[in-house]
Amino acid sequence: MKLDTQNPKPIYVQIQEGLEDAILAGNYSEESQIPSTTELSRLFQINPATAGKGVNALVDDGICYKKRGIGIFVKKGAVNMLKKKRQAAFKGDFLLPLLKEADRLDISPEELISWIKEVHHGEN
Amino acid sequence: MEKIRVDKVSKNFGSKEALKEVSLEIEEGKIYGLLGRNGAGKSTLLRIISDRMAADSGQISYEVNGELKKLMSGDLYFSEPKNLLPESMNVKDFCKYTQYFYPRMNTEETLELLAQFRIGLKEKAKNLSTGNYSILRAIVALHSGAKFIFLDEPTLGHDAINRELFYDEVLRVYDEEKTTILLSTHLIDEVSHLLEDVIFIRDGHILLNNSVEHLLNSYAYLTGPKETLASIEKQYKVLQKKEQLGFLSLLVERESQSTSLPANVEVESLGLQDLFIALNQNK
């Protein structure tokens, strides 16, 4: 997990997304504990309130839950929830920019689809 | 809830107005940034709050749960670049001496930490390099046990490694002791992610005083073709106008982020440093 201080994206959002990525990748498995606000704040040298906001966003989204006095844990089913959430954002985050650039370069959607198939085959 | 309240404080040096009716509050449990250019009045303000200098007018008060209290010397530590203690004193004595005034200070821990920063305890203050002297005063300040710690230009002369260690220490003390820490500096990029609240000062005036989050949400860059921006410019308070490569870029204050904009106008958020520069360039 890395923070990009030049990125205009708010730091707490970067914390939230970084933790989400780690959960999706299985680095924090379901029912395991994620780093505390203090650990995140020290590691990235950010205000604890900022780190806390990122962690709380995961709790608010139902991805994680609080165990009183112990810490924050990944909920059962979190990976699936995150996949759904990211799938819903996929169009706006990846597809639209891709199509915009393709359009600028006169690459037709049909051509794009054939490229995707080509690359996908090549990788498998 | 404890807070220090500054009420309409003014200070003149001869004909120069250093502070003009400055009012603000410093609440417990936050990391504040007092940001301003050289000569903006940062140090004068901190000296007055910490009773090292008298204001010409105005008041400083200290409140605990709404009741007025006297701020004791052990409650507030102000560390400034200027020497406070005799230069012939060595590092160890510097720490011991400080403990007389700050009974909650943990001298042993302080000395251990100074060793980590590779500062010789027998060295005299006057023989320390600029960087090591500023480490000494920052570390002593952070371990003073005071409830309010003001650090004026704390990383003056620090190398990259010591700067990291220093910010680690700030966060540790803040977290473990629930201390209120105020960092006064002109190096904004360096501290911006550490801060919860920011006080911008310019020519003895407080320009802005708010949470970092609120400030960064309240301003944005709008970039687009000149004609398009000219048509919407009037809707905003514009802080900065830049023409770049045929495009116009406006730094604007905006009340809500949801107002719809023409499709060819891009919205970009900004950092504290950008805001600071824009505020200081404004008339």
Instruction: Give contacts of B174 with chain A, Cβ < 8 Å.
Output: 48
Tens digits of per-residue pLDDT, A53-87? 999 999 999 999 999 999 999 999 999 999 999 99
Taking residues A95-119, what's their average pLDDT? Answer: 93
Domain range enclosing A69: 11-76
Domain co-membership, A54 together with A95: no
What residues of chain A have any CB closer than 8 angstroms to a CB in chain B? 5, 8-11, 38, 41-42, 44-50
CATH code, domain carrying A52: 1.10.10.10
ipTM, two decimals, is 0.76
Specify the fold of B2-203: Rossmann fold (3.40.50)
Domain co-membership, A99 together with A60: no
pLDDT at B188 over 80: yes
CA distance A23 to A17: 10
| pLDDT band at B17; cut points 50, 70, 90 | very high
Domain ranges in chain B with CATH number 3.30.70: 215-281
Domain co-membership, A54 together with A23: yes
Contact B175 A11 (CB under 8 A): no
Does residue A6 form part of some domain? no
**CA geometry: angle A119, A121, A124, nearest 5 deg:** 110
Taking residues B35-53, what's their average pLDDT? Answer: 92
Q: What is the pLDDT of residue B170?
A: 94
Nearest CA in chain A to B267: A8
Domain co-membership, A16 together with A54: yes
User: Looking at the 3D structure of chain A, how many domains does it have?
Assistant: 2
pTM, entire model: 0.85
- Residues B105 and B145: beta-carbon distance below 8 Å: yes
Q: What is the pLDDT of residue B125?
A: 82
Neighbours of B116 (CB within 10 A): 10
CATH architecture of the domain with residue range B215-281: 2-Layer Sandwich (3.30)
pLDDT at B140 over 70: yes
Amino acid at A35: P
Domain co-membership, A37 together with A70: yes
Tens digits of per-residue pLDDT, B85-110? 777 889 999 898 889 889 999 899 99
Contact A42 B172 (CB under 8 A): yes
Does residue A82 form part of some domain? no
Contact B193 A5 (CB under 8 A): yes
